[in-house]
Amino acid sequence: MIRLVFLLFITTVISSSVYRPIVLMHGIIASAHDMDELAGWLRTSFPGIYVTSIEIGNGAEDSFLWPLEKQVEHFCRHVLADEHLRQGFNLLGYSQGSIIARGALERCSLPVHNLITLSGVHQGVFGVPYLIMLPAQFRELITKYAYEKPVQNTISAANYWRDPDRLKRYTSECHFLPDINNEHEVRNETYRANMLKLNAFVMTYSDIDEIVAPRHSGIFMGYAPNSLHVETWNNSRQFTEDLIGLRTLFEQGKLYTFTSHVKHQDVPHKPNKDFLIKNIFPFLNNTLS
Ligand SMILES: *[C@@H]1O[C@H](CO)[C@@H](O)[C@H](O)[C@H]1NC(C)=O
Ligand SMILES: *[C@@H]1O[C@H](CO)[C@@H](O)[C@H](O)[C@H]1NC(C)=O
Ligand SMILES: *[C@@H]1O[C@H](CO)[C@@H](O)[C@H](O)[C@H]1NC(C)=O
């Protein structure tokens, strides 16, 4: 009896004091250091927490010169090799990191509790603003030849270039996004099952984002076919056919969206600090049980 009480006591102490670890995934043309400021706030708010920021390859260059298939494989290898993460973690991806994080969760069945994406690109990008971040010689390759294999194999942004006038080519020839969004003829039920294991899926976008087009891609909305108007959730195939389980998550009250008001590059930085602490930190304030 005494032993049992002791055990219960120990279990309570341990489980109430160990915050669930957090994995951070940076955006395009950036390295893991871009997430340092946010990691610092997390360590201050949740004393003793394990926070790790994944670096893809050599950092900034590989973030756009590695196709996303490879970036996701790399991400999964890192995470699965980290013994601190074995019991589960919360996952936060920023910008391009949003779909690396989600792709990794879907493909590698990672033990993620809450998935959080900040100003992500879930329904792709289309248009010049996003390309401004890339070296000039790459821009035309994407606007003209995005769906050609050599481009798909070389530039990460081509893997989520969603041209509303060429949606058929996007679906059949774009290597990454149509796959993790389950837009192919044959769905991957594992992807959906893994999404439905989430406790919460939290997405944000910024109403003054000057890089991601359309901005609403951050909350999984994209251009309607042959138009530059953003399609509402309930009109989009992603929701009507519940391709990766978003509608189910919504109906279960597990889907959250927030609108921030900062420039794209400022999303994980000081100008967005209050927004993040108020809206996002509550989803990271949980312990391993
Ligand atoms: C985490 O939740 C606890 C309990 O609700 C609360 O007291 C604490 O202020 C929260 N911490 C943060 C950083 O939000
Ligand atoms: C679904 O995805 C998993 C993980 O990437 C893969 O192993 C499996 O072969 C895929 N299944 C189908 C039917 O494509
Ligand atoms: C679709 O969603 C919009 C905005 O969320 C809502 O106002 C509208 O009533 C919905 N339409 C249907 C048919 O559910």
pLDDT in tens, 111-161: 999 999 999 999 999 998 888 888 888 888 899 999 999 999 999 999 999
Q: Residue 110: nearest ligand to its CA?
A: 2
pLDDT-above-70 percentage for the chain: 94
Domain assignment present for 188: yes
Report which secondary-structure segment, H or E, holds 203: strand 200-206
Q: Model-level pTM greater than 0.85?
A: yes
Q: Are residues 59 and 151 in contact, defined by beta-carbon separation less than 8 angstroms?
A: no
| Burial of 202: CB neighbours in 10 Å, binned 0-12, 13-18, 19+ | buried
Report which secondary-structure segment, H or E, holds 91: strand 89-94
Domain assignment present for 130: yes
Nearest Cα residue to atom 13 of ligand 2: 188
Domain assignment present for 8: no
Q: How far is the CA of 232 from the centre of ligand 3 (A)?
A: 8
Q: How far is the CA of 276 from the centre of ligand 1 (A)?
A: 14
Alpha helices per DSSP H over the chain: 2-17, 36-45, 60-65, 68-81, 96-108, 128-131, 136-145, 149-152, 167-173, 177-180, 189-196, 237-240, 246-251, 273-275
pLDDT in tens, 217-250: 999 999 999 999 999 998 999 999 999 999 999 9
Domain assignment present for 195: yes
Alpha helices per DSSP H over 161-265: 167-173, 177-180, 189-196, 237-240, 246-251
Domain assignment present for 48: yes
Q: Residue 156 contacts by C-beta under 8 Å, 6 or more apart in sequence?
A: 28, 63, 64, 65, 66, 67, 68, 71, 96
Domain assignment present for 201: yes
Q: How far is the CA of 211 from the centre of ligand 2 (A)?
A: 32
CATH value at residue 36: 3.40.50.1820
Q: Taking 90 as the threshold, does the pLDDT of residue 70 lie above it? A: yes
- Tell me the mean pLDDT in the region 6-15: 49
Instruction: Read off the pLDDT band of 57 (50, 70, 90).
Output: confident
| Residue in 95, 98, 206, 217 annotated catalytic | 95
- Tell me the mean pLDDT in the region 255-276: 98
How many folded domains does the chain comprise? 1
| Residue in 34, 163, 209, 242 annotated catalytic | 209
Does residue 164 have a cis bond before it (omega within 30 degrees)? no
Closest ligand 1 atom to 46 CA: 13
Ligand 1 site residues, Cβ closer than 6 angstroms: 45, 281, 285
Q: Closest by alpha carbon to 287, among 52, 43, 113, 35?
A: 113
124 lies in which domain range? Answer: 18-207+235-284
Can you tell me whether residue 274 is helix, strand or coil? helix
Rg for the chain (alpha carbons), in Å?
19
Q: Are residues 152 and 175 in contact, defined by beta-carbon separation less than 8 angstroms?
A: yes
95 counts as catalytic: yes
Supply the pLDDT for residue 2.
53
Euclidean distance between CA atoms 176 and 27, whole angstroms: 16
Nearest Cα residue to atom 8 of ligand 2: 188
CB atoms within 10 A of CB 125: 23
